[in-house]
Structure 1
Amino acid sequence: MEAILEEFDQYLALERGRSAHTRRAYLGDLRSLFEFLAQRHPDAGLRALTLPVLRSWLAAQASAGAARTTLARRASAVKTFTAWALRRGLIAEDPSVRLQAPKARRTLPSVLRQDQAIDAMDAAASGAAQGDPLAIRDRLIVEMLYATGIRVSELCGLDVDDVDTSRRVLRVLGKGNRQRTVPFGLPAHGALTSWLTEGRPKLATAASGAALLLGARGGRLDARQARTVVHQTMAAVTGAPDIGPHGLRHSAATHLLEGGADLRVVQELLGHSTLATTQLYTHVTVARLRAVHDQAHPRA
């Protein structure tokens, strides 16, 4: 089974362009399925992979408290695997064709108000004013995430050459290895200039390579460190929700739409493959308008 999973992992990486995070999640889901299968059919291998078994496995996950989003992802992992296994001749038929999983509920994400976003940027800038290279980097993390709406993995994956300072744009490699160009404004440009001239040179080592953002030891910044930076910055803003990098992405998209940006433009900026994903932010905007209306209108 491990040999099969290793080959499947290579397929996900090379042919489907899945990220390392997605591949780890899919392989973890499949190992869970294989353990479930081995308990019921110890010596049958993939031959015992039937629709009733898949349904029983998902039902057991649901009974154990798995969220709808988790069940949806696990069903997707199984469907991708069985389709691949059928093409490879590992199974005679695809048992997941009629497999259904509960659709993930789309919840409204927590977002900053525009004044809270400004306060967060000011908090990051005040920390960088002392000249500490890590504080200068942290300011850039917060500014760039909010200015561009890119994912934290995309930000940490940037190289110095991916930044065009004259045009104020980033060349971003997103999900599925899709490349897009994302602009950023003058405040983020100022944070970037400070980092490149005052911060990065103090942290760079021979092992830094071309990485734009660096950790304390000079290596490429890890996404977990960037998340910690965002949470710490939000903690300094009175009344702000405790959001991470994805919350800044949500906030950027919401504020763009509130400012009159076209939905298709926001889709391109965020790197969404379908417009339906971007449309979630229109729901956020309407929900916020209704909340204000309910609070302020005497006959709401």
Structure 2
Amino acid sequence: MDLLEACNRFLVHCEVERKLSPLTIKAYQGDLYRFSSAVGSKYNLCDFSETWIENVVRNWLVDPELKSTTVKRRVACIKSFVRWLFRRKLISFNPFERIHLEIRLPKRLPRNLQTNEIQKLLVVKPESILGKLRKKNQGLPRFEWDRLTARLAIEVLTLTGIRVGELVKIKPQDIDHLLHQIRILGKGNRERQVLFPDLVTTDRLQVYREHAYSRFGAEKRSTLFLNSLGRSANEQYIRRIIRAYANEAQLGRRITPHMLRHTAATQLLEAGLDIRFVQKLLGHASITTTEIYTHVANHALRREISRVNIRKRLEMHR
């Protein structure tokens, strides 16, 4: 079997057996294509060697147009591919057991929103958007539907820390209004429950769904969040309306759904929630991924300590 055929079989395995998302499959496809092209796609798996990996990765690392995060992602994909080859006995050994690749990543803190920025985003209540139109006996114009959807999406993302890809998959039946929680289908089709601090958000989502039904006749099996045409909202739509909503709130910088996920994690840690609970809420497979937010919390603590300036307070009373 040549390398290209093996790559294609691995992608089918990822799609059919592992049930990875289309975006992940597309990313794997691109990474494996670049790897096989660099090695030579017609090479036979019998000749598979750690030299293949070392040479390709070395070339990627010296490429000025490639970020170290991109190289690290590509190497992770190759590792997964090689493990699959070894388990299927398509190669006789795992080359990664013989080589050591160290890819240094720049220390970069997640971009999260400050408390005053969150307050600006949440200052408009969903009830006020609907209330103004009820007084006029009007249906909801498309731009107002976008505002309402953006406002609720921001609330859910900020309170739960779910990914935007998880947000657009939520169905009405996934919401438990009694326990005020939502069933989330995460990466690798792993299920988890995310909780709200009270009933306010689930009540608002219920009202949103009722308006969606009266406006579009949306069926129960469709997703919870809909675009202004009554179709299931996709990630691109959510990103666009959140960006527009943030501009309207005059935040002064580009806001993305992933920043809201970072914000949720940081807020929970700063409030004293155990990191293991935050890990479960975010759906991280490893607590190492969650630990990056502790640096953000420490950064905020350092800033507050500098602001309070205890030394000045103490020295004033000498």
Q: TM-score interval w.r.t. the shorter chain?
A: 0.7 to 0.9
The answer as to 2:276 corresponding to 1:264 is yes
The answer as to 2:82 corresponding to 1:70 is no
Q: 1:147, 1:188 within 8 Å by CA — same for their partners in 2? A: no
Superposition deviation, residue 263 in structure 1: 1.8
Unmatched segments (≥5 aa) in structure 2: 134-139, 313-318
The answer as to 2:21 corresponding to 1:19 is yes
The equivalent of 1:117 in structure 2 is 118
Superposition deviation, residue 103 in structure 1: 4.5
Superposition deviation, residue 76 in structure 1: 1.2
Which of 203, 207, 210 aligns to 1:197? It is 210
Q: Write out per-residue CA displacement over residues 25-78 of structure 1, whole angstroms, 9 at most, x where no aligned residue.
A: 12211100111112xxx7534344422221221122222232222111111111
| Separation in 1, partners of 2:109, 2:209 | 36
| Separation in 1, partners of 2:61, 2:48 | 19
| Percent identity of equivalent pairs | 29
CA separation of 1:191/1:258 partners in 2, compared to 1, >3 Å: closer, same or farther? Answer: same
Q: Which amino acid aligns with 2:117?
A: Q
Which of 16, 36, 39 aligns to 1:37? It is 39
* Larger deviation, residues 151-160 vs 232-241: 232-241
CA separation of 1:299/1:148 partners in 2, compared to 1, >3 Å: closer, same or farther? Answer: same
The answer as to 2:233 corresponding to 1:234 is no
The answer as to 2:181 corresponding to 1:169 is yes
CA separation of 1:57/1:123 partners in 2, compared to 1, >3 Å: closer, same or farther? Answer: farther
CA RMSD for the aligned pairs? 2.6
Superposition deviation, residue 297 in structure 1: 2.1
The equivalent of 1:9 in structure 2 is 11
- Equivalenced residue count is 296
Radius of gyration: which is bigger? 2
TM-score, normalising length: structure 2: 0.82
Unmatched segments (≥5 aa) in structure 1: none
TM-score, normalising length: structure 1: 0.87
The equivalent of 1:28 in structure 2 is 30
* Larger deviation, residues 126-135 vs 213-222: 126-135
Q: 2:266, 2:294 within 8 Å by CA — same for their partners in 1? A: yes
Q: Write out per-residue CA displacement over residues 75-102 of structure 1, whole angstroms, 9 at most, x where no aligned residue.
A: 1111111221233343333323324141
| Separation in 1, partners of 2:107, 2:260 | 18
Q: Which amino acid aligns with 2:285?
A: S
Q: Write out per-residue CA displacement over residues 115-170 of structure 1, whole angstroms, 9 at most, x where no aligned residue.
A: 21121022574666554433322222111111211111111111111011232110
Q: Write out per-residue CA displacement over residues 243-286 of structure 1, whole angstroms, 9 at most, x where no aligned residue.
A: 31111011111111222222222122111222222222221011
The equivalent of 1:188 in structure 2 is 201
The equivalent of 2:315 in structure 1 is none
SS of the residue corresponding to residue 171 of structure 1 reads: strand
The equivalent of 2:316 in structure 1 is none
| Separation in 2, partners of 1:273, 1:282 | 17
Q: Which amino acid aligns with 2:83?
A: A
* Larger deviation, residues 22-31 vs 215-224: 215-224
